[in-house]
């Protein structure tokens, strides 16, 4: 399958998860992991989410690196409607989960 033709799964985070704590993060991870592992793209739409915690991001996205290679995750995980601060938090979590300083950049969010 050519890049850009992968099936897309869209998750509207505010509609699915409550407080945004670590437990919600683990549930989100469990929800999107199968699609990413199958080579699909996943869009996380954060419209309506007021704030994200680091434990939520670690549990939701950082844990994905256990099963999905970093480069695949960066190219297939699309985030939308995130504040600049939350994008920075996501980058930090991915860099730390990867084990070093990197150019972590979920699709469509970095210049």
pTM: 0.80
pLDDT, one tens digit per residue, over 55-103 is 999 999 999 999 899 999 999 999 999 999 999 999 999 999 888 644 4
pLDDT, one tens digit per residue, over 1-23 is 455 566 899 999 998 887 677 88
DSSP 18-79: SS--HHHHHHHHHHHHHHHHTT-EEEEE-TT-----HHHHHHHTGGGGGTS-HHHHHHHEEE
DSSP state of 10: E
pLDDT, one tens digit per residue, over 18-60 is 767 788 999 999 999 999 999 999 999 999 988 889 999 999 9
Task: Write down the pLDDT at residue 77.
Answer: 95
């Amino acid at each position: 399958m050519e890049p850009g033709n992968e099936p897309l799964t869209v998750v509207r985070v505010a509609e699915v998860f409550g407080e945004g704590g670590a437990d919600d993060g683990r549930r989100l991870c469990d929800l999107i992991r199968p699609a990413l592992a199958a080579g699909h793209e996943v869009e996380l739409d954060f419209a309506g989410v007021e704030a994200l915690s680091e434990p939520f991001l670690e549990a939701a996205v950082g844990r994905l690196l256990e099963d999905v290679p970093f480069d695949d995750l960066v190219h297939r995980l699309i985030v939308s409607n995130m504040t600049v601060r939350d994008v920075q938090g996501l980058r930090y979590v991915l860099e730390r989960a990867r084990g070093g300083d990197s150019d972590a950049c979920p699709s469509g969010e970095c210049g």
